[in-house]
Amino acid sequence: MHVPSKCRVCREPAIIDLPRHNANFCAEHFLELCRRQVTKAIEQWKLLDHDDRILVAVSGGKDSLAVWDLLIELGYRADGLYVGLGIGDYSDVSADHARAFARSRDLHLIEISLRGEYGYDIPTAAKATRRVPCSACGLSKRHLFDKAAIDGGYTALVTGHNLDDEAAVLLGNTLRWEIDYLARQLPLLPARDGFPKKVKPLVRLTERETAAWCVVRGIDYLVDECPMAVGNKHLHHKATLNAIEAESPGSKASFYLNFVERMAPLLAGRLADDREALGTCAECGAPTSGEVCAFCRLVTIASAHE
């Protein structure tokens, strides 16, 4: 990393340069900038209230620990939820990071083990379904996060998606003109039909910034990427956007933030159309358009496969 000179605010030595803000910052003023960006996101899109009971989906990586830390710092009440995916050492180490963080801040971390509670893990589910691991993994996590939020009486489910994640997904969806996915790609999805409100407070921060937040705050996060992320197109789209950003700082933020401001409202009708009436799963009671939800079908296939 290029070593920047002086903090824009206080003129003390800087620890980070942020070309998109055309400035350098010392540790203290960098943290202030992060808090300001998260507060701005929360206010701009009415993401959270101080009465919300928040459940943060925690993976042990930088983004989920940063968002949990930031929300607590900003005075919100937030518990964490860790889902053990059974992806070998990666899962063991990620659980350690999530637990250590919760312990260090005296926060409540709920833990669910796929293997212990549902009889399968992600590598097994991938084999049983003959699809990429991320597909069974995403389905399992979405279901368990939603269920834990609803069962626990939480009013908001928070994830640590950052600007790089959202811009990469936006690029992928735009390249294929996936209108229905685009319509749903918002920092806030209100609660509906048995689903909790879903919120992404970090979408104004890049992954370099969430990593720096953790370093400055002394949060020990899992640096390794998931070993099952192979062939994940998001990584490719992130690299493409980073190349554009290097040429033209601020492009990533304007791509995503202007989408939310200018394009998403034009797609709002699609979001409403998408809301077909949902019934409840005959096995677990979760909202679903079929008789048995996709998660219960996955559990049946994956837990029978060894």
Amino acid found at 77: R
Rounded CA gap, 250 and 17, in Å? 13
Instruction: Mark the segment that binds ligand Q46 (CB under 6 A) among 35-43, 73-81, 144-152, 225-233.
Output: 225-233
Q: Identify the residue whose tokens are 């996955």.
A: 298
Q: What is the DSSP letter of 6?
A: B
Torsion region of 193: left, alpha or beta (phi above 0 gives left; psi -120 to 50 gives alpha): left
* 134 vs 302, beta carbon nearer ligand Q46: 134
- The verdict on 133 binding ligand Q46 (CB under 6 A) reads yes
Instruction: Mark the segment that binds Zn ion (CB under 5 A) among 57-65, 186-194, 205-213, 279-287.
Output: 279-287
Q: Considering only CA atoms, which of 55, 124, 56, 54 is closest in space to residue 85?
A: 124
- The verdict on 137 binding ligand Q46 (CB under 6 A) reads yes
- The verdict on 122 binding ligand Q46 (CB under 6 A) reads yes
* 122 vs 298, beta carbon nearer Zn ion: 298
- The verdict on 293 binding Zn ion (CB under 5 A) reads yes
- The verdict on 9 binding ligand Q46 (CB under 6 A) reads no
Amino acid found at 221: Y
The answer to whether 130 and 298 are in contact (CB under 8 A) is: no
Instruction: Mark the segment that binds ligand Q46 (CB under 6 A) among 49-57, 132-140, 154-162, 213-221.
Output: 132-140
Q: Considering only CA atoms, which of 211, 250, 218 is closest in space to residue 18?
A: 250
Q: Which tokens in the block code for residue 67? A: 């968002």
**What's the closest the beta carbon of residue 232 comes to ligand Q46, in angstroms?**
6
Q: Which does 7 bind (CB under 5 to 8 A by kind): ligand Q46, Zn ion, none?
A: Zn ion
- The verdict on 7 binding Zn ion (CB under 5 A) reads yes
Q: Strand 109-113 vs strand 77-84: parallel, antiparallel, or unpaired?
A: parallel
Q: Considering only CA atoms, which of 66, 3, 76, 7 is closest in space to residue 34?
A: 66
* 124 vs 288, beta carbon nearer Zn ion: 288
Candidates 95, 228, 260, 298: give the one binding ligand Q46 (CB under 6 A).
Answer: 228
- The verdict on 229 binding ligand Q46 (CB under 6 A) reads yes
Q: Considering only CA atoms, which of 73, 81, 67 is closest in space to residue 160?
A: 67
* 241 vs 281, beta carbon nearer Zn ion: 281
Q: Which tokens in the block code for residue 240? A: 């493409």
The residues of the shown chain that bind ligand Q46, judged by CB under 6 A, are 85, 122, 133-134, 137-138, 226, 228-229
Residues in contact with Zn ion by the rule CB under 5 A: 7, 9-10, 26, 29, 281, 283-284, 286, 293, 296
